[in-house]
Structure 1
Amino acid sequence: MRPSVTLRRAAAAALGLAVVAGAAACAGPEDSASSGKGEAGAAPQQGGTLTVLNSSPQSDFDPARLYTSGGGNVPSLIFRTLTTRNREDGAEGAKVVPDLATDLGKPNADATEWTYTLKDGLTYEDGTPITSADIKYGIERSFAAELSGGAPYLRDWLVGGEDYEGPYKDGKGLDSILTPDAKTIVFKLRKPEGEFPYLATQTQFAPVPKAKDDGTKYENHPVSSGPYRVVTNKNDGEELVLERNTHWSAKTDEERKAYPDKIVVKSGLDSAVINQRLSTSSGADAAAVTTDTNLGPAELAQIGSDKSLADRVGTGHFGYTNYLAFNPKVKPFDNPKVRQAIAYAVNRKSVINAAGGSALAEPATTFLPEQKSFGYTPYDHFPAGETGDAAKAKELLKEAGYPDGLTITLTHSTEENRETGPATATAVQEALKAAGITVKLQGLEPNAYNEARWTVAKTPGFFISRWGADWPSGGPFLAPIFDGRQIVENGSNYNHAQLDDAAVNTEIDEINKLTDLDEAAKRWGALDAKIGEQALDVPLFHPVYKRLYGKDVKNIVISDWTGVLDISQVAVK
């Protein structure tokens, strides 16, 4: 089997954490919203206009080209899918639940076939019925080259998917998607995939009526299956105006509350301007939120002295890990004791300070995020405390043949961000110096940096990296990074250590057969702990997202799936 191209989105996430990961883009899972449901004692009511102020435009507003999490939940107001995320705070929000389908799907004995039945009474914005054929067509059009950009899983998972080019050229469909009747859809997979219910949350599973499909122009007025419809789409998502879909029925949709009558999304704004407008909360901005703009350390310090503002800060956690990566093909990182020495030498306290402080980053000693849905299993194979253990690091260096220390190069991005930028690199450099390790910093501009770390022939021996998952499970977290069959020689390779361990590969396959997601999570956690013994990376921290919302916004829900305020739950005065 050719290497999977799973999680191309994570590379995109690595290019724009604040937009994707912070929006979905996904540490204590029990503390996901600083202000709970909003104004105490006031039940949310329908009506009013909600404004969304964002930095990045909601471009390519076509279900074939989007991820469910894209745009901070905006797409899910228009596009319903077979399954969706549970719209609850914290850990409960990391669960997958039915949406258009009656359940999470019925697998066959080995999870290579999944069958879904649609609910009764589903209609589009024009009142016409939604059928299983519409969902099949929506998926098929996502394979067309002109509509690329969405999740890659279906090409990997569906029988025949790797060679399919969409329906536009010859009108052919995918034989691995069957629609025996208007309410039933069956998927035939190349291998067992117990997490198919998670995949069915992706926007590619949104129904598209073939008669209304006008290719690349469909994004201007996609046909809604959700509680809102697109009225205006200016400048490729720079401004979106959404109004109620009068044919949407809450009886078929337990997840989206759809309180506002109208939602206006304004993008392309400066981050400082967004936070200032939300802070002031005058006029329409009193009923405004952001789904992609974080508060920085200085802004948090100012807000901390103003209780009225502090009460309007939502705190979110998304499944993301920032870490030091090794390429064992490069000396001296082929020596496990050198990698272990670095793990002991790292001062996580200084790294977290560089990342904005404890309010914006939480220390990590596991590769998996600290959330139950991922299968988080606590371990610390190289306990260095908060500030590092220089003595233990020196001891290991001596055993490795470097009694007088060594000199290495750390590659990082020159972009001034708190995850992979110069500040974090300098903090690592200073910590390793105490252990006798001289670190030379190699800063690369963002494009060159990403090309280096994801290209096998260019992968540095030691670099800063990060990883986020498309859904809250250990599968899309561990498999792309540690499955040897996913090493890509000529393309984007995420297995930085080029680990190809038969036992690891086999365990990944065995977990993928499980349809009991709780049992699978336990196995992912155990596998994380086992891989961690090899010191192929040094987990540093998990980011925390802090975002303001307007003074007239109520019913704040922030789940561990997305890490951002869920606008399908928001009400305004």
Structure 2
Amino acid sequence: MTPQFEIDHQGLTPTPAPEVPGARRGGRVVLLADAPPEHVDPTQMYIGTTLGVATGLFHRTLTGYVESYDGGPRRLVGDLATDTGRSGDGGRTWTYTLREGLRFADGTPITSYDVAHAIARSFGPNGVYGPQFIQQALDPQRTYRGPEQDGPTAPGVATPDERTLVFSLPEPTPGFPFFATTTTTTPVPADRDTGAGYETSWLATGPYRVREFVPGSHCLLERNPHWDPATDPIRHQYPDEVLWEFGVPRDAQTERLLAPEGADRAAVATFDVAEHRVAEVLADPELSARVVAGPSAYLQYVYINTRRVTDVDVRRALNHAFDKGTCVRLAGGAAGAERAGTILAPMVPGYRADDVYPSGEHGDPLTAKELIAGKELRPLVFAYPDTAPNAPVAPAVKAALEAAGFEIELRPVDKAAFYSLMGDADNDCDLIYGVWGPDFPDASGVFDVLFRGDRLTRGGNMNLSYFDDPEITAEIAALAQEPDRAAVAGRYADLDRRLMAEHAPVIPVYYKRQCTLYGPAVGGLFLSAQYFVPNLTRMHVLG
């Protein structure tokens, strides 16, 4: 781990979370989102912007992160649990004790059985699109198919009493406390589990609960009276209400916050400043003071579907031909992005500056043409989320690749369904424009998810390159089991280069940076080092 990270093994982090100086209770904050979330069911959630809202406001997990607003280290702590987990056998067995006084939004107690049920359901159809770390750790062969088919208890999960969970794993798993931060561990009571209907009937465990939900329009959150701050080392409950407003494009979010009036004075964008407004915002002292900005561990890729684009020289040619510079400009220039050359972003341990395909700012079509000379090429489908920011990106991608001799078919896809559709192994897309950032500050959070072929399934894949090489998979698996994470950073850097040089399963386009506006009546915001959106745990309305 980096020096900017700590683990509270002993459970010493105070509860309640320390008060924010000057913060007051009351008021309404408006969160502006370009589209409704694909999923809000905790075992189905896996998009960073949604997770930033959910884990800050209404979904809690066994462990979580206390993030620093002033440049200090990020800390892994017990959230629902009293600590980050206890293991005396090298990481094969992990024991957690729930805090006393935990309750769902309807007032019923939260027990270990609710966490165990959530994990069990994540193995079935109601966990297809969510994180898979805990499932893979418990049952690497994935023989258990969820409570609907194979009984109520997932393999390796025991609940000796209503506050204790014991996880028994077939292999040493030193990273399990990080796996426990995922919403796979958000409690779901079996008697309230409505299956697919839990997308709208979920019970909150954090400081806010749903008062009103209008599909496609908004979700109005109110205080959860059954949330006890004495059980929570991470969150606060300052605003009376939080309105999560959907369908506000990037440009509209920016325009509403340049000179906000009325409710927009307490609004927060969840998308970067519009590209054509970045220079204006950064040059204006008043506006730049209302910006959450900084580097992130997220990276914009083009995933090359290796099941469809099987010739590695074609994949190499795509890397050479790609126009990264235009994509950086359309992302907001230096304030929003930096041209990438590696699979790992600079903030992830294991990153080493490199570029296997150094092709200049706008690509190298001549080198690409040499690699594909004499090959019979079919048209390639470039799929991308159908959003306003991507509207100019798609034709720029098409122009650059076609200048190198490719034929590109553009396919815009509804953002609200993009990753679900692309995660279907039978999709017919060749190039997929997607973003990824690790779930925890470790390179395994990238390689295990994006490139382990033994974890490909029929649906819910995040390995959107559909890459499956036994040697690479074995190396990724071995690296993930190494207990000294700092010591393996260099090996991850070597793997990064090898994967790009020998297989080229992705085009790393740019390292994402955050540059997000908020209204002058909102206080307590800072950049989340976990989700790289505004951290909402200290958010309050200024008097």
Using the size of structure 2 for normalisation, the TM-score is 0.79
Structure number with higher relative contact order (C-alpha < 8 Å, ≥ 6 residues apart): 1
> Are the counterparts in 2 of residues 366 and 380 from structure 1 also a CA contact under 8 Å?
yes
SS in 2 for 1:104: coil
CA spacing shift, 1:478–1:90, aligned 2, 3 Å: farther
In the other structure, the counterpart of 2:395 is 423
Give the Cα–Cα distance (whole angstroms) in 2 for the partners of residues 174 and 115 of structure 1: 16
Please, which of 356, 365, 377 is the counterpart of residue 352 of structure 2?
377
Q: Indicate if the aligned counterparts of 2:423 and 2:464 stay in contact, CA closer than 8 A.
A: no
Q: Deviations over 1:380-433 (max 9, x none)?
A: 234445455678x38x93xx695x999886542375654994233146338xx5
Alpha-carbon distance, 1:83 to partner: 0.8
SS in 1 for 2:82: coil
Query: Cα distance 1:353–1:149, how it changes in 2: closer, same or farther (>3 A)?
Result: closer
Corresponding residue SS for 1:71: helix
Superposed CA deviations along residues 237-275 of structure 1, whole A, max 9, x for unmatched, are 743333333443333322113322332323234554443
For structure 2, the residue ranges without an aligned partner over 5 or more in a row are: 6-19
Q: Structure 1 residues 526 and 117 mapped into 2: Cα distance closer, same or farther (>3 Å)?
A: farther
Q: 1:331 to 1:106 in 2, by over 3 A?
A: closer
Paired residue type of 2:478: E
* 2:255 corresponds to 1:285: no
Q: Hey, what does 2:477 align to over in structure 1?
A: 509
SS in 1 for 2:96: strand
Q: State how far apart, in whole Å, the 2-side matches of 1:218 and 1:444 are.
A: 31
2-structure distance, mates of 1:329, 1:150: 23
Given candidates 294, 304, 328, the residue that maps to 2:272 is 294
Matched residues in 2 for 1:137 and 1:246: separation?
24
1:483 paired residue among 452, 464, 483: 452
Give the superposition deviation at 1:553.
0.8
- Which shows bigger deviation, 74-83 or 259-268? 259-268
1:456-496 per-residue CA deviation (whole Å, 9 max, x = no partner) reads 79564xx4643414503322422344334345689958363
Instruction: For 1:117 and 1:360, locate their aligned partners in 2 and report how far apart those are by CA, in whole Å.
Output: 41
Matched, 1:81 2:61: yes
Distance 2:503 2:102 in 1: 51
Match of 2:184 in 1: 204
Partners of 1:65 and 1:514 lie apart in 2 by 29
Query: Which blocks of at least 5 consecutive residues in structure 1 are unaligned?
Result: 1-28, 31-40
Alpha-carbon shift at residue 282 of structure 1 (Å)? 1.6
Cα separation, 2, equivalents of 1:78 and 1:91 = 25
Alignment of 1:551-566 (within 5 A): 551-566=520-535
- Which of the residues 501, 518, 521 maps onto 1:549? 518
Amino acid at match of 1:284: A
1:440 is matched with: 407
Residues in 2 aligned to 1:180 and 1:201: alpha-carbon distance in whole angstroms: 22
Partner of residue 364, structure 1: 340
1:357 maps to a residue whose letter is G
Contact 2:298/2:438 (<8 A) preserved: no
| Contact 1:86/1:95, CA 8 A, preserved across alignment | yes
Question: What is the alpha-carbon distance in structure 1 between the residues aligned to residue 427 and residue 240 of structure 2?
Answer: 53
| Matched pairs, number | 517
One of 522, 528, 534 as aligned partner of 2:502:
534
SS of the residue 2:335 aligns to? coil
Structure 1 counterpart of 2:492, from 503, 510, 524: 524
Offset from partner CA, 1:2-53 (integer Å, 9 cap, x none): xxxxxxxxxxxxxxxxxxxxxxxxxxx99xxxxxxxxxx9743333322223
Within 1, Cα distance between the matches of 2:477 and 2:205?
Answer: 35
Give the distance between the partners of 2:462 and 2:187, measured in 1 at CA: 32
Q: Does 1:412 align with 2:387?
A: no
1:352 to 323, 328, 340: 328
Aligned to 2:289: 311
**Counterpart for residue 104 of structure 1:** 84
**Matched residue, 1:276:** 255
- The equivalent of 2:114 in structure 1 is 134
Q: Which whole-Å CA distance do the structure 2 matches of 1:66 and 1:369 have between them?
A: 23
Shift of 1:81: 1.0
Q: Kindly indicate whether residue 238 of structure 2 is the aligned counterpart of residue 259 of structure 1.
A: yes
CA contact (8 A) 1:410 1:425 kept: no
1:92-120 CA deviation, whole Å, 9 max, x = no partner? 67654321122222346453432212234
Whether the 8 Å CA contact 1:144–1:167 is kept in 2: the answer is: yes
Deviations, residues 320-353 of structure 1 (Å, cap 9, x unaligned): 3334555678899444xx7656655655434423
Contact kept in structure 1, 2:381 and 2:429, CA below 8 Å:
no
Measure the CA separation in 2 of the matches of 1:204 and 1:493: 16
Letter in 2 for 1:256: R
Separation in 2, partners of 1:169, 1:485? 23
Question: Aligned residues: percent identity?
Answer: 29
| Matches of 1:137 and 1:161, distance apart in 2 | 20
